[in-house]
Amino acid sequence: MATTQTLSTGDRIPDFSLQDENGQLFNIRDYVGKKKLVIYFYPKDESAVCTKEACSFRDSYADFTDAGAIVIGINAGSVESHRSFKEHHRLPFTLLSDPGNKLLKQFGVKNVLFLTGRETFLVGLDGKIEASFRGFLKGDAHAEKMLAMLRVNV
């Protein structure tokens, strides 16, 4: 399902399986219906804005789990890069490797200039998008916006 249109509120997310930071297969079907999902796409491990974004999710992680949600970060980086990034910043959530940005394209996340886009989706128990936020230079705002949306959509 290639798309040029960004998925929006009410759209069902695609089924996907990707490798996590430990090389284990992560299948989204194992989580849909059990937890709300906060799926964020970000350009690059260890870049300034991406690190700020990841640490913002880390610092409010307990609030996400209290709201019944899991956080998943996704980009085209390798399993090894994700493992190093996760360890370096003590990230308590899953990072998935999306080689070739195939899943990013299925979600319709748009590039910004020559960089991969930054967009976060809140997915309900039914596997449909409840809200999204796009803020390329506002890495730290993504966690804040998603928490606010989670509280509204409880």
Question: Tell me: the pLDDT tens digits for 4-31?
Answer: 578 889 999 999 999 999 999 999 999 9
CA proximity to 150, closest of 54, 90, 60: 60
Q: What is the CATH number of the domain that holds 69?
A: 3.40.30.10
**pLDDT, position 2:** 43
CA dihedral 101, 146, 114, 26 (to 10 degrees): -20
Q: Is residue 12 part of a domain?
A: no
Check if 50 is active-site.
yes
User: What's the structural domain count of the chain?
Assistant: 1
Q: Is residue 7 part of a domain?
A: no
- Residue 44, domain extent: 17-152
Which residue is catalytic, options 50, 72, 131, 150?
50
Close Cβ partners of 66 (under 8 Å, ≥ 6 residues apart): none
Q: What is the mean pLDDT of the chain?
A: 92
Strand partners of residue 121: 39, 132
How much is the pTM?
Answer: 0.93
The two structure tokens encoding residue 60: 């409010």
Q: Is residue 8 part of a domain?
A: no
Q: Is residue 1 part of a domain?
A: no
- Are 67 and 151 within 8 A, CB to CB? yes
Residue 82 binned pLDDT confidence (cut-offs 50, 70, 90): very high
Convert the pLDDT of each residue in 34-47 to its tens digit: 999 999 999 999 99
